[in-house]
Amino acid sequence: MGDRFQPTTDRLLHMDVLRGFALLGILLVNFEWFVRPLQAIALGAQPDLSGASLAVDWLIKALAEGKFYALFSMLFGAGFALMAERASKKDSPFWGVYLRRLVLLLLFGVAHMLLIWAGDILVVYSLCAFVMVLLFRKTPVQRLWKWAVVFFIVPLAIVWLGALSIAATQFDPELHASIMTEMESSTEDMRADIEEAARIHNEGSWRENVGQRMRDAGFILTNFVFWVPPILGFFLLGRWLISSDRLTRPGEHQLFFRRWRSRGLLFGLPLSIAGVVLLYELAQTVLTLQLAIGMTLFMAGSVFLALAYLSMVTLGAERLRFLAPAGQMALSNYLAQSLFWTWTLYGHGLGLGTVLPRWSHLLLALAFFAVQVMFSHWWMARFRFGPMEWLWRSLTYLQLQPMRRA
């Protein structure tokens, strides 16, 4: 029982700093999808951008999109490994507690997805974690990163198979034209759905938005094969980083982090930029070789850059320790981002989504995150947990946890 009431004594500073850093990247990426319907992710970049707005969009897509959910996913997997390791050392129950924790995360995610914003990641995280526990609970340490690579390849293999199959039909012009016409028709149907979703976001009531979020959730879950394998791969990579002691004793693995800081930037930046060039205005509903090449480059760039960011922040954790309180209450801050900005940008709130230019998203995200960091410092100086972390922990252990610091 005693270990339940010691939430901060064995925290790793660099892990909290990493979570805080990842929160900023998540907000930078999500901001676009606070003002655009989620289905538009399949149609490429926002059309008609120019000047500073185009530059900001490019910057976020090349340096943040696909990288920070990867970083956060690695930290989620690392957190699982830490909890399991500490429970084993203390000879305390783990699996029942962890599964209850996942069920609660799933419920939080469903509420977030339907009531606040459909771009929720908690549902996918909880479902991926169930798969990880079911299939990879006893996987040896040396195999974890290898399985991660397999899961990174799975969605790419599906896209390549589809693109090559369609490309092969060019030898039968009539069949090829029929397939392309069908896919383009599907794309036009999606455009109509996106226009209706945009109207609801900009003009509809909160109740209408809940209905739209249910449709958005369907879109996300029907494309699970492109979300679940990479996230599961990053979970396993995070577990490997903990189980191999790289993230538990980073001081003893400085060479590893310095190498991945260099490798990640050297390979990740050009791969990610090349991927954005190929995918920028490309509809992902039409399976072409350009799409397959672009997704492969972008995915590889995301993996390399996520590892570079993890290495850079781990090496500089002492200088970045001001981010730690935000990372300690990452769940509360993540949900607060969605709650504040949907009510600010959607029509049932202030309705500013249609008037804010794309370039302003960068400044607004940085300013809002700065406020979150300051509030997190104030809160964590007085309380042991963030509000949602306290609720999550109390429900997990079926007992109210002490909230105030002595």
**To the nearest whole percent, how much of the chain has pLDDT over 90?**
80
CA dist 266 and 304 (Å) reads: 9
40-78 pLDDT per residue, tens? 988 889 888 999 999 999 999 999 999 999 999 999 999
Tell me the mean pLDDT in the region 196-223: 91
Residue 9 has pLDDT above 60, yes or no: no
Tell me the mean pLDDT in the region 9-16: 83
Confidence of residue 4 (pLDDT cuts 50, 70, 90): very low
In the block, tokens 């492109």 appear at 226
Contacts with 306 (C-beta within 8 Å, 6 or more apart), sequence order = 67, 68, 70, 71, 74, 234, 264, 268
What pLDDT is recorded for position 181? 85
User: What residues form DSSP beta bridges with 404?
Assistant: 383
Looking at every residue in the chain, the average pLDDT score rounds to 92
302 or 83: which leads in pLDDT = 302
Contact 364, 340 (CB under 8 A): no
Residue 64, CA distances (Å) to 187, 235, 362, 378 in order: 26, 19, 12, 28
CA dist 348 and 96 (Å) reads: 41
What pLDDT is recorded for position 33? 94
What pLDDT is recorded for position 5? 32
Residue 3 has pLDDT above 50, yes or no: no
Confidence of residue 170 (pLDDT cuts 50, 70, 90): confident
Residue 213 has pLDDT above 80, yes or no: yes
76-112 pLDDT per residue, tens? 999 999 988 888 888 788 888 999 999 999 999 999 9
